Each structure stands twice: as structure tokens, then as C-alpha cells.
Amino acid sequence: MRERIPSGGIWVTPREFARLFGLSEQTLANQRSKERRRGRRLPDAPVWKRFGGVVRYWVPAELLAPEQGKRQTNCILDER
């Protein structure tokens, strides 16, 4: 069964995701490991995918810029 990802958002690195939501990168790695051992995604876990050798997390547009509604933005990537 394929997981559907809603349109309007961006894929970010674990570092960017951790910074956005106040988590550590190690916490995210531990959670991914736990999901792999269980064989399924945890109910409240963030959506992540492995693209080749890199991991990316999905951030919906409304979490990136709530005041802008569903408009897609890449402002998070410009703050480095």
C-alpha cells in the first residue's frame, strides 16, 4: 500500500526538520530505527522517505508559513 503525500509542502533534511520543530537529529534517527524494527510508521511520527542514500522529512506548507495558508514556500531553506 502506497502512502499518499499531500501536495503543497517541501522535503527537508533531518537537520532542518529538527531545527524547525525543536528536536535533535538523534531523536529523529532513533524514531526511524524504531519504525524500521516495527515494520510500520508510528501514528504521530513525521513523514520521512529515503531517497537513495539521503533521508528527507515532509513539511506541509501550512506548517512552514501558517499565515500564508497553503502557499508553498522555501523560506526555511534560505535561513541557513
Q: Is residue 39 part of a domain?
A: yes
Quote the CA–CA distance of 50 and 31 in Å, as a whole number. 14
Our count of domains for the chain comes to: 1
pLDDT at 1: 43
Q: Is residue 58 part of a domain?
A: yes
Q: Determine the average pLDDT of the residues in 48-69.
A: 82
Q: Determine the average pLDDT of the residues in 57-61.
A: 91
Answer for the pair 71, 6: CB distance below 8 angstroms, yes or no. Answer: no
Answer for the pair 14, 59: CB distance below 8 angstroms, yes or no. Answer: no
Q: Is residue 2 part of a domain?
A: no
Over residues 14-42, the pLDDT tens digits come to 999 999 999 999 999 999 999 989 999 88
- Supply the range of the domain harboring residue 17: 9-78
User: Residue 55 pairs with which residues in a beta bridge?
Assistant: 50
